[in-house]
Amino acid sequence: MTQLSHPAQTLLENLDGFRVEIDIERERADIVLQRPPYNIIAMPQRDQLRLVFESLDENPAVRVIVLRAEGEHFSSGGDIKGFLAASPEHVSKLAWNIAAPARCTKPVIAANRGYCFGVGFEISLACDFRIVTETTRYALPEQKLGQIPGSGGSARLQKMVGIT
Query: Mean pLDDT of residues grouped by 10 in the chain (164 residues)?
Result: 50 83 97 97 92 97 98 93 74 86 99 97 96 96 74 75 79
Per-residue model confidence (pLDDT) at position 7: 46
Domains of the chain: 7-161 (3.90.226.10)
- On the 0-12 / 13-18 / 19+ scale of CB atoms within 10 A, 134 is exposed
Nearest-angstrom CA–CA distance, 155 and 144: 17
| DSSP-derived pairing of the beta strands 28-33 and 18-23 | antiparallel
Q: If we measure between CA atoms, which residue out of 62, 56, 94 comes closest to residue 78? A: 94
Per-residue model confidence (pLDDT) at position 10: 47
Q: If we measure between CA atoms, which residue out of 74, 85, 120 comes closest to residue 101? A: 120
Tell me 39's DSSP state.
T
- Of 58, 70, 72, 122, the active-site residue reads 122
In the residue annotation, 122 being an active-site residue is answered as yes
Distances (CA, A) of 98 to 20, 42, 50, 65: 17, 12, 7, 15
Model-level pTM?
A: 0.87
Compute CA 22 distance to the chain's CA centroid, rounded to the nearest angstrom: 17
Q: Is 153 helix (H, G, I), strand (E, B) or coil?
A: helix
Nearest-angstrom CA–CA distance, 163 and 62: 36
Per-residue model confidence (pLDDT) at position 3: 56
Nearest-angstrom CA–CA distance, 12 and 155: 31
Specify whether the backbone of 3 is left (phi greater than 0), alpha (psi in -120 to 50) or beta: beta
Q: If we measure between CA atoms, which residue out of 122, 132, 109, 133 comes closest to residue 156? A: 122
